[in-house]
């Protein structure tokens, strides 16, 4: 019965995430053909900035919040307390983020030259504030998560095809992503309140401060994770050009499908691994090995197919330099496979509550990554960026193994 439920949950979750992953692939060729590679690069920069800001809005709720909800799933009073405190903190952080970023977008030339695009992109941040996904992940309610993803990406898909008709319309691309998030998250948020009989407790300043203090270390580390994921396209645009950023984004659009899948797989498995390890370490480790072993095989097969059909895949996006981008894609296919190994080890690091070790490893590898990209970019262009990403992920894996080996031996 339990196995049947897990297969059912995985199927439902898989459908939602597949829809979530395929949608950007459907619209990317259209955006490139209508708006051009350079403007596609601009939209990628705007989205990367918003994904970075989301780390501030979440403030560790995507990791610590999920774990707390998972462990306390039978305690309704505790769940309500976690829910109220988390949203109170997210609200305070949202106000500060919007104020500071709005000033930056208005006065810094790099942003003010495309002010409309960047301000529209902020709707993505607002949508993330509303999102109850972290709460649903902790309770393993994959049905509502799937509904949320399907509604959000359907709105984005329809909006792009109906309103993007000329080159200058690129400024509206991220607008529709944000509107999709706001509408879908608002609907599911109301459903969550009613389904779990939640209400907002009065959260005082001391509780907000304590939450910020307790989650600051994991939040701080997530900043570096976000820089590692979304920093390259911003650095390419700033130190190179929007055209190079567009080329990077086209290749990354393929790779990010598998990377996003790996991240979503982490989100699906992580609360279960935490719960099982909390109950029985051996049982938890066995399930971790089964889940991640199957996942790694799937990613490996996918990367082989992408490598073999790299030219055909790149041609789908209507770029100008197809052979160059095809070669780049054949290099980049190593990233998702290495990333899948890294994420699997990250599950154990966090499940065993090795937060200090995780933070230290993250900061070291990300700083190394950013520094190397800045040095290599002028010489090796986008090739250098992908080589750097591969190298730093491998270094991170070795750090994880060293810390886990020592911990498991004890």
What digits encode the pLDDT tens for the residues 112-140? 888 999 999 999 999 999 999 888 888 87
- Can you tell me the distance from the alpha carbon of 356 to that of 345, in angstroms, rounded to the nearest whole number? 15
Contact 246, 41 (CB under 8 A): yes
pLDDT above 70: residue 10: no
Contact 41, 320 (CB under 8 A): no
pLDDT of residue 138: 83
pLDDT of residue 409: 64
Mean pLDDT of 49-64: 86
Residues near 284 by beta carbon (within 8 Å), at least 6 away in sequence? 273, 276, 277, 278, 351
- Can you tell me the distance from the alpha carbon of 332 to that of 322, in angstroms, rounded to the nearest whole number? 15
* 275 token code pair: 């719960």
Q: pTM for this structure?
A: 0.77
The H-or-E segment that residue 300 falls in is helix 281-308
- Can you tell me the distance from the alpha carbon of 361 to that of 356, in angstroms, rounded to the nearest whole number? 9
Contact 377, 385 (CB under 8 A): yes
Residues near 99 by beta carbon (within 8 Å), at least 6 away in sequence? none
- Can you tell me the distance from the alpha carbon of 260 to that of 23, in angstroms, rounded to the nearest whole number? 13
Task: Tell me the CB-side half-sphere exposure of residue 149, using CA atoms within 13 A.
Answer: 21
pLDDT of residue 4: 58
Q: Return the domain boundaries, the chain.
A: 2-409
Q: State the pLDDT confidence band at 5, using cuts at 50, 70 and 90.
A: low
For residue 113, the 8-state DSSP code is T
For residue 62, the 8-state DSSP code is I
pLDDT above 90: residue 228: no
Residue ranges in 309-333 assigned as alpha helix (H):
310-315, 322-332
Closest by alpha carbon to 253, among 15, 4, 43? 43
pLDDT above 90: residue 67: no
pLDDT of residue 266: 78
Which of the pair, 172 or 405, is modelled with greater confidence?
A: 172
Mean pLDDT of 184-201: 88
The H-or-E segment that residue 140 falls in is none
91: number of Cβ within 10 Å? 13
- Can you tell me the distance from the alpha carbon of 262 to that of 341, in angstroms, rounded to the nearest whole number? 10
Q: State the pLDDT confidence band at 358, using cuts at 50, 70 and 90.
A: confident
Which of the pair, 266 or 334, is modelled with greater confidence?
A: 334
pLDDT of residue 7: 65
Which of the pair, 362 or 116, is modelled with greater confidence?
A: 116
pLDDT above 80: residue 217: no
- The residue behind tokens 């607008």 is 175
Kindly report, residue by residue over 153-181, the tens digit of the pLDDT: 999 999 999 999 999 999 999 999 999 99
Which of the pair, 54 or 269, is modelled with greater confidence?
A: 54
pLDDT of residue 139: 83
Kindly report, residue by residue over 277-333, the tens digit of the pLDDT: 777 788 788 888 888 888 899 999 999 999 999 999 999 887 778 888 999 999 999
Mean pLDDT of 68-74: 82
- Can you tell me the distance from the alpha carbon of 329 to that of 314, in angstroms, rounded to the nearest whole number? 8
- Can you tell me the distance from the alpha carbon of 148 to that of 186, in angstroms, rounded to the nearest whole number? 9
Kindly report, residue by residue over 376-403, the tens digit of the pLDDT: 988 888 899 999 999 999 999 999 998 8
Contact 290, 345 (CB under 8 A): no
- Can you tell me the distance from the alpha carbon of 403 to that of 400, in angstroms, rounded to the nearest whole number? 5
* 157 token code pair: 């898909």
pLDDT of residue 328: 93
The average confidence (pLDDT) of the chain is 86
Please give the share of the chain, as a percent, with pLDDT higher than 70: 96
pLDDT above 60: residue 1: no
- Can you tell me the distance from the alpha carbon of 134 to that of 86, in angstroms, rounded to the nearest whole number? 10
Q: State the pLDDT confidence band at 9, using cuts at 50, 70 and 90.
A: low
pLDDT above 70: residue 2: no
Contact 387, 376 (CB under 8 A): yes
111: number of Cβ within 10 Å? 18
């Amino acid at each position: 019965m339990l196995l049947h439920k897990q297969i059912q949950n995985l199927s439902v979750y898989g459908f939602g995430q597949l829809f979530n992953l395929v949608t950007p692939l459907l619209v990317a060729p259209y955006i490139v053909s209508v708006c051009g590679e350079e403007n596609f690069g601009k939209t990628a920069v705007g989205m990367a900035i918003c994904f970075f800001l989301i780390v501030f809005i979440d403030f560790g709720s995507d990791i610590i919040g999920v774990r707390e909800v998972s462990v306390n799933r039978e305690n309704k009073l505790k769940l309500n307390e976690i829910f109220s405190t988390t949203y109170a903190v997210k609200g305070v952080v949202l106000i500060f983020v919007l104020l500071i970023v709005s000033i930056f977008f208005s006065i810094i030339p790099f942003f003010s030259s495309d002010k409309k695009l960047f301000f529209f992109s902020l709707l993505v941040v607002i949508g993330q504030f509303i999102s109850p996904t972290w709460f649903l992940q902790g309770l393993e309610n994959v049905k509502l998560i799937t509904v949320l993803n399907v509604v959000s990406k359907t709105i984005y898909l329809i909006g792009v095809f109906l309103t993007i008709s000329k080159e200058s319309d690129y400024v509206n691309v991220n607008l529709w992503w944000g509107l999709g998030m706001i509408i879908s998250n608002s609907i599911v948020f109301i459903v969550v309140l009613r389904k779990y009989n939640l209400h907002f407790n009065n959260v005082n300043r001391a509780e907000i401060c304590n939450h910020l203090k307790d989650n600051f270390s994991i939040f701080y580390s997530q900043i570096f994770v976000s820089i590692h994921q979304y920093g390259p396209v911003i650095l390419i645009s700033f130190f190179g050009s929007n055209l190079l950023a567009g080329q990077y984004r086209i290749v990354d659009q393929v790779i990010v499908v598998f990377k996003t899948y790996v991240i979503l797989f982490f989100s699906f498995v992580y609360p279960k691994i935490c719960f099982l390890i909390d109950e029985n370490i051996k049982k938890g480790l066995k399930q971790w090995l089964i889940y991640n072993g199957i996942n790694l095989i799937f990613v490996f097969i996918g990367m082989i197919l992408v490598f073999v059909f790299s030219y055909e895949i790149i041609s789908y996006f209507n770029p100008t330099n197809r052979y160059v981008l095809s070669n780049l894609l054949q290099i980049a296919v190593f990233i998702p496979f290495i990333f899948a190994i890294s994420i699997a080890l990250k599950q154990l690091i966090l499940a065993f509550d090795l937060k200090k070790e995780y933070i230290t490893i993250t900061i070291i590898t990300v700083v190394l990554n950013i520094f190397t990209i800045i040095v290599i970019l002028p010489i090796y262009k986008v090739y250098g960026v992908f080589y750097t990403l591969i190298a730093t992920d491998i270094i991170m894996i070795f750090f994880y193994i060293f810390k886990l080996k020592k911990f498991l031996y004890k």
